[in-house]
Amino acid sequence: MDLLRRNITSLEGELVRERFGVPYLPSVFSRIWLVWCLAELGAFDEGMVVGQEAIQIAETIEQPWDLLAAYRGVGLLSLGKGKIQEAIASFEQCLGLCQAWDISGWLAIIASQLGYTYALSGRMNEALPLLEQAIGQAPSKRSVYHSRLLGYLGEAYLLDGRPDDALPLAVSALEISISRHERGFQAYALRLVGEVAAQHKPPNLDEAEAHYHQAFALAEELGMRPLLAHCHLGLGTLYATAGQQEQARAELFTAIVLYRAMGMTFWLPQAEAALVQVEEQA
C-alpha cells in the first residue's frame, strides 16, 4: 500500500496519462490495486474515493483495459462491503467490456465475481451456470486467481444448500493457496472449509471450529477485518448449533460490532437475528 500510494503521488499532471510502454495506465492500476488492499482491510470509504479517481481517469482516456480495471476495482470494493447491486452493475460493465474487446484473459475472473455476486443476491439460476462455466474457461489452473475462482463456486454451492458439492472445491482452493503461498486466499479457503463442515449433515463441529480459528488467525495477522467479521459470524452460528450459548453470544456480538463499524449492512441482519435467537434460548 505504501508503494501504491507513492506511485499515485508520483503520477500527477501529464504523467496521469503516461503508459511507460505498457498497455495499461499505471496511474489507474496503482489506484485499483490500492482499492483492493483497502477493501480487504475494510477501509471502504477511502477505497471508494480512490476507486472513483481511477474511474474518472479511465473514462477520460477511454481505453478498454483501463476501464475494465477501474470498474472491477470498484466492483470488488462494493462486493466486499456487501453493496450487492452496485457490485453487480460494476461487474456487468466489466463482462461487457471483456466480450466487446475480446479480453479473454480476464473473462473467467470477471464471470466468477459476477456469478458469486448473483449468488449473494439470490439469483442462483444465473449464478451457478456462470460460475461453472468460468471454471471451465479459466485460461490456466496456474492463474494467481484460481483458488478464488474455486472458492466463489464453492460458496455459491453452499448458498444453494449443496455442501457435498462445495467440499472438493474448498479443499482444492486451500491446497492451491497453501502451495502458492497466497496467504490472503488461504484465509478465505480456510473459512470456506469451516463453512462446509458447519453445514454438513450432521455438522462436523470440531473440524468447522478448527478451520474457522485458522482462518481467523490468518485474517487477523493480515488485517483482513471483513473476513474476521465473517469468521466471527460463522463461529457464532456454529456455537449456537452446538448449544454453547455464551460462546455463541460473544462471537455474534463481535461480528455485529465489526459489521456496523465497516458499514457492512448486508450481513448485519443475519448476525442480529442469530444473536436474538441465542438470547431467546438462554
pLDDT at 277 over 70: yes
Q: What percent of the chain has pLDDT over 70?
A: 98
Mean pLDDT estimate for the chain: 95
Question: 104 near 139, Cβ under 8 Å?
Answer: yes
How far, in whole angstroms, is CA 51 from its chain's centroid?
A: 16
Specify the pLDDT at position 144.
76
CA-closest candidate to residue 266, choices 276, 255, 277, 275: 255
Question: 109 near 149, Cβ under 8 Å?
Answer: yes
Specify the pLDDT at position 42.
98
Contacts by 25-29 with C-beta closer than 8 Å and gap 24+? 25/57, 25/58, 25/61, 25/63, 25/66, 27/57, 28/54, 28/57, 28/58, 28/61, 28/66, 28/69, 28/70, 29/66, 29/69
User: Looking at this protein, which amino acid is placed at residue 168?
Assistant: P
**Which CATH code, of 3.40.50.150, 3.30.390.10, 1.25.40.10, 2.40.50.140, is assigned to 1-102?**
1.25.40.10
To which H or E segment does residue 183 belong? helix 183-199
Specify the pLDDT at position 104.
86
Give domain limits for the chain. Answer: 1-102, 130-222, 224-282
pLDDT digits (tens, 9 = 90+) for 212-225: 999 999 999 999 99
Which grid cell is 19?
A: 503508459
User: Looking at this protein, which amino acid is placed at residue 247?
Assistant: Q
Cell 497453501 maps to which residue?
Answer: 178
What does the pLDDT average to over 7-33? 94
Lowest mean per-residue pLDDT among 140-144, 201-205, 277-281: 140-144
What does the pLDDT average to over 51-67? 95
DSSP per-residue letters across 155-177? HHHHHTT-HHHHHHHHHHHHHHH
DSSP per-residue letters across 1-56? -HHHHHHHHHS-GGGGG--TTSSS-HHHHHHHHHHHHHHHHT-HHHHHHHHHHHHH
Specify the pLDDT at position 23.
85
Give the orientation angle of helix 124-137 with respect to helix 146-159, to 10 degrees.
Answer: 150
The strand ranges marked E within 131-231 are none
